[in-house]
Amino acid sequence: MINGKKIVIVLPAYNAGQTLERTYKEIPFDIVDEVVLVDDRSRDNTVEVARQIGIKHVIQHEKNKGYGGNQKTCYDTALKLDGDIVIMLHPDYQYTPLLIQSMAYLIANEVFPVVLGSRILGNGARKGGMPLIKYVANRGLTLIQNILVNQKLSEYHTGYRAFSKEVLQSINYHANSDDFVFDNQMLSQIIYKGFAIGEITCPTKYFKEASSINLSRSTVYALGVLKTSVSHFMNKTGLIRSNRYNSLK
């Protein structure tokens, strides 16, 4: 805990058997209270590794629900465990767990209710091996998103995210997609509700075992991102009304 706030790490896992243990060993358990792994019907030994290394809360989906569907289970479980600060960490070791403390302290001390680990700040993405085409796409989409949702984030596409309990309880994340665009829809909801978002520089690593999506899935994702940002703009200006932005409180 930090300042009496319970910290829960959630790991949305799919075929993470080769990298899970490395990720888990770097989690700072001096402040982390619980770790939850949700396995989305992996085809490898992810669940076995999770149990061998001592993860207490291991949840297996009966069928593959997708990246967004996995996160929904992650956040539902974290809230059931009474987590005050919930941090999503990918178990593919692309993002370093060593930043958990910094992200958690910013929320525990009420500096920000949401903190993102940005690969773009400090040139971490290219230094870590992000392919040029992905970097250019990231920068281009981020520019368009910032204009449409009236923000100045360095990127919207990081998978390293920390939330206060109040944020998760205030947004209707179950109204979002079960696919990769879930991440952007969730940030859109957070911005729409007026929550401040902090960013910290995050080094990243691109290697064979790290997860990534192919070109066709990337294209679908990019179109989904643009659709989300346009929808955000139209809802904010009153042109349309979407259930995604309805209040839960």
Domain range list for the chain: 7-242
CA distance 76 to 116: 20
Q: Is pLDDT above 60 for 210?
A: no
CA distance 17 to 77: 22
* DSSP annotation of 159: S
CA distance 71 to 79: 12
Q: For position 205, what pLDDT does the model report?
A: 76
Q: For position 129, what pLDDT does the model report?
A: 75
Mean pLDDT, rounded, for 86-104: 96
Band of residue 207 on the pLDDT scale cut at 50, 70, 90: low
Stretch among 65-69, 198-202, 243-247 having the lowest mean pLDDT: 243-247
Q: What is the pLDDT of residues 60-78, one digit of tens each?
A: 999 999 999 999 999 999 9
Pair 29, 55: CB distance under 8 Å: no
Q: CB under 8 Å to 123, separation ≥6 — which residues? A: none
Stretch among 16-25, 36-45, 124-133, 233-242 having the lowest mean pLDDT: 124-133
The CATH class, in words, for 7-242 is alpha beta
CA distance 124 to 22: 20
pLDDT above 70 coverage of the chain, percent: 96
Q: What is the pLDDT of residues 157-195, one digit of tens each?
A: 999 999 999 999 999 999 999 999 999 999 999 999 999
DSSP strand pairing (114-118 vs 197-201): parallel
Band of residue 204 on the pLDDT scale cut at 50, 70, 90: confident
Q: For position 249, what pLDDT does the model report?
A: 58
CA proximity to 72, closest of 155, 159, 183, 167: 183
What is the number of residues in the chain?
A: 249
Please provide the average confidence, as pLDDT, over all residues in the chain: 93
DSSP strand pairing (85-88 vs 161-164): antiparallel
